[in-house]
């Protein structure tokens, strides 16, 4: 018996059954029987046209030749290569109508974000910064002239935009920002510092948020990336979304014309809508990262032999993968629900915040399991799950999850105010200040 077993092990030693599965990040070579979208019958929730659109986007993402691993290690992004891929995916602007923009439904936006983040979260993030944070803000808050001047060039990716709100000393409490805008003849002088600005090193258009020194309100300015008075440096040593180039930007008497000031004063009305949309996109991004991590993990486990069997033959591994698949189902269906509510124009911030808090936490737990089932290779970039594991951490970045939980508390507890003050008065007071700031957005 022992002899037979030894013989079987040694005869397998040089066969593919005992070799390490090939690492192919970002490509996913999955056996069709494990295709999660089919297994979960998500395609049945989509119309014929939506399924066709999804297949088209997946095929484009799968055909990428971008070397994400080399770029992940060196933490650089090749803007030209990214632009080529953006163009293949269609015109920019997601759901924006006019100016050559894509005019997608929210379900189509979900499918697009699902696939770009399934491919690679850094790629997806750069895609979103331009198409949503930058373009959406100009569309929602810009004048007709600004729409024509910027959106047309941005929808064709001739010009790439970024969004500069956060400062070194002002993070979550963004409404207290310190960058100033001083009126001078013909325009404004911007002075201050911004931090974490995705794409800030290379962007053609930077949307800068600054305090109008006359009104003391926050205004947005469309600043050309090559304007004088801007100095930029890259934030080094990030553990996640390494390919995305985050920048520190310093504005020293940077002149911007009056025509380049956005219309809205402070974070109200349309700005709230823009930020609501960007939160929904984080929910969609969670689906994409988790789909990629699950499919890479199950693909690895079906090809990895231990004890003369594939890893997927063991019930302990099956149980872990099943837990991830269940989580994936709930995250994808939540995303689809939000997308459909947005299409029907019945979504509000409470639902989106609930979805964001749930999906980001579920993603975080699930990618850890994906990493675990890949053993040692689960911590090597080449197999992809390690990248998803690290990138999932940044899904909290747009808004801190604790504030979302407070907003959600309003849905769950009709008498939320009473409960709030009776139970955790001291803790709540601090938070409440932040929430009121946050709700102003
Ligand atoms: C990868 C990445 C990309 C980014 N891209 C951009 C970009 O393109 N443009 C841009 O403008 N910004 C960007 N940001 C900045 C992002 O919006 C901020 O990181 C975010 O607002 C949080 O600010 P902070 O990091 O300074 O954390 P802080 O505000 O210092 O918070 C630190 C911790 O304290 C907690 N906390 C804060 N306030 C409270 C409170 N009242 N009660 C309880 N806990 C609290 C937070 O949850 C967090 O855990 C990016 C950030 C990252 C990491």
Query: What is the pLDDT at residue 179?
Result: 98
CA of 177 to the centre of ligand 1 (A): 13
Give mean pLDDT, residues 362-379: 97
CA of 396 to the centre of ligand 1 (A): 8
- Alpha-carbon span 257 to 381, nearest angstrom: 45
pLDDT (tens digit per residue) in 203-244: 999 999 999 999 999 999 999 999 999 999 999 999 999 999
Query: What domains appear along the chain, each with residue ranges and CATH number?
Result: 34-155 (1.10.540.10), 161-260 (2.40.110.10), 270-440 (1.20.140.10)
Name residue, tokens 């009104």. 215
| Atom nearest to 129 CA in ligand 1 | 8
| Ligand 1, atom 1, residue with closest C-alpha | 394
Judge residue 272's burial from the number of C-beta atoms within 10 Å of its C-beta, 0-12 exposed, 13-18 middle, 19 or more buried: middle
Phi, psi (rounded to 5 degrees) for 187: 175, -140
Give mean pLDDT, residues 253-258: 98
DSSP 226: T
pLDDT-based confidence at 20, cuts 50/70/90? confident
CA of 257 to the centre of ligand 1 (A): 30
pLDDT (tens digit per residue) in 2-17: 555 544 544 444 445 6
CA of 145 to the centre of ligand 1 (A): 33
Query: What is the pLDDT at residue 264?
Result: 79
pLDDT-based confidence at 440, cuts 50/70/90? very low
Q: State the helix-helix crossing angle for 121-128 and 106-119, rounded to 10 degrees.
A: 140
Query: What is the pLDDT at residue 1?
Result: 46
Query: What is the pLDDT at residue 348?
Result: 87
pLDDT-based confidence at 439, cuts 50/70/90? very low
Lining residues, ligand 1, CB within 6 Å: 129, 163-166, 171-172, 196-198, 241, 246, 394, 397, 400, 402, 430-431, 434
Query: What is the pLDDT at residue 390?
Result: 96
The mean of the pLDDT values for the chain is: 87
Nearest to 282 by CA among 399, 140, 167, 111: 399
CA of 110 to the centre of ligand 1 (A): 24
Share above pLDDT 90 across residues of the chain, in percent, rounded to a whole number: 74
pLDDT (tens digit per residue) in 115-147: 999 999 999 999 999 999 999 999 999 999 999
Of residues 33 and 413, the one with the higher pLDDT is: 33
Best of 125, 131, 172, 234 to mutate for ligand 1, by most ligand atoms within 8 A of CB?
172
Per-residue pLDDT at 30 exceeds 50: yes
Question: Model pTM?
Answer: 0.89
Best of 122, 163, 171 to mutate for ligand 1, by most ligand atoms within 8 A of CB?
171
The radius of gyration computed from the CA coordinates of the chain, to the nearest angstrom, equals 23
pLDDT (tens digit per residue) in 413-423: 544 444 433 33
Judge residue 399's burial from the number of C-beta atoms within 10 Å of its C-beta, 0-12 exposed, 13-18 middle, 19 or more buried: buried
Per-residue pLDDT at 437 exceeds 60: no
Query: What is the pLDDT at residue 407?
Result: 54
Element of type H or E holding 25:
none
Per-residue pLDDT at 367 exceeds 60: yes
- Alpha-carbon span 246 to 260, nearest angstrom: 24
Per-residue pLDDT at 431 exceeds 80: no
CA of 176 to the centre of ligand 1 (A): 13
Phi, psi (rounded to 5 degrees) for 161: -115, 160
3-state secondary structure of 21: coil
Query: What is the pLDDT at residue 432?
Result: 33
pLDDT-based confidence at 268, cuts 50/70/90? low
Per-residue pLDDT at 350 exceeds 90: no
Q: Quick count: other Cβ atoms within 10 Å of Cβ 88? A: 13
C-alpha distances (whole Å) from 312 to each of 316, 348, 371 are 9, 41, 15
């Amino acid at each position: 018996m022992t002899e037979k077993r030894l013989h079987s092990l040694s005869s397998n030693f040089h066969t593919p059954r005992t070799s390490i599965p090939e690492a192919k990040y970002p490509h996913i070579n999955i056996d069709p029987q494990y295709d999660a979208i089919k297994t979960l019958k998500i395609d049945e929730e989509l119309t014929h046209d939506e399924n066709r659109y999804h297949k088209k986007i997946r095929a484009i993402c799968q055909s990428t030749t971008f070397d994400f691993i080399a770029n992940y290690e060196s933490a650089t992004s090749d803007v030209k290569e990214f632009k080529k891929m953006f163009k293949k995916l269609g015109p920019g602007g997601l759901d924006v109508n006019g100016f050559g923009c894509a005019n997608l439904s929210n379900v189509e936006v979900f499918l697009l974000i699902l696939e770009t983040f399934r491919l690679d979260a850094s790629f997806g993030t750069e895609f979103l910064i331009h198409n949503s944070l930058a373009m959406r803000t100009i569309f929602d808050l810009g004048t007709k002239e600004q729409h024509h001047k910027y959106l047309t060039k941005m929808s064709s990716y001739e010009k790439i935009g970024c969004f500069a709100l956060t400062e070194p000393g002002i993070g979550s409490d963004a409404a207290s920002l310190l960058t100033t805008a001083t009126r001078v003849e013909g325009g404004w002088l911007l002075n201050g510092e911004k931090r974490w600005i995705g794409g800030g090193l290379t962007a053609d258009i930077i949307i800068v948020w600054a305090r109008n020194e006359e009104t003391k309100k926050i205004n947005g300015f469309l600043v050309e990336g090559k304007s004088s008075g801007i100095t930029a440096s890259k934030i080094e040593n990030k553990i996640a979304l390494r390919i995305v180039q985050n920048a520190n930007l310093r504005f020293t008497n940077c002149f911007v014309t009056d025509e380049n000031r956005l219309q809205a004063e402070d974070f109200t009305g349309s700005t709230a809508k823009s930020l609501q949309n960007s939160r929904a996109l984080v929910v969609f991004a969670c689906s994409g990262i988790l789909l990629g991590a699950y499919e890479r993990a199950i693909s690895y486990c079906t090809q990895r032999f231990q004890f003369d069997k594939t890893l997927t033959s063991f019930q302990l591994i099956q149980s872990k993968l099943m837990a991830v698949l269940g989580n994936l189902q709930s995250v994808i269906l939540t995303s689809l629900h939000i997308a459909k509510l947005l299409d029907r124009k019945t979504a509000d911030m409470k639902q989106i915040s609930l979805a964001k808090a749930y999906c980001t936490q579920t993603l975080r737990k699930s990618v850890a399991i994906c990493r675990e089932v890949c053993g040692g290779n689960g911590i090597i970039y080449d197999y992809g799950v390690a990248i998803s594991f690290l990138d999932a951490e940044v899904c909290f970045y747009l808004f801190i999850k604790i504030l979302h939980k407070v907003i959600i508390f309003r849905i769950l507890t009709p008498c939320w105010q009473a409960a709030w003050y009776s139970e955790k008065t001291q803790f709540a007071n601090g938070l409440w200040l932040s929430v009121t700031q946050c709700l102003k957005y």
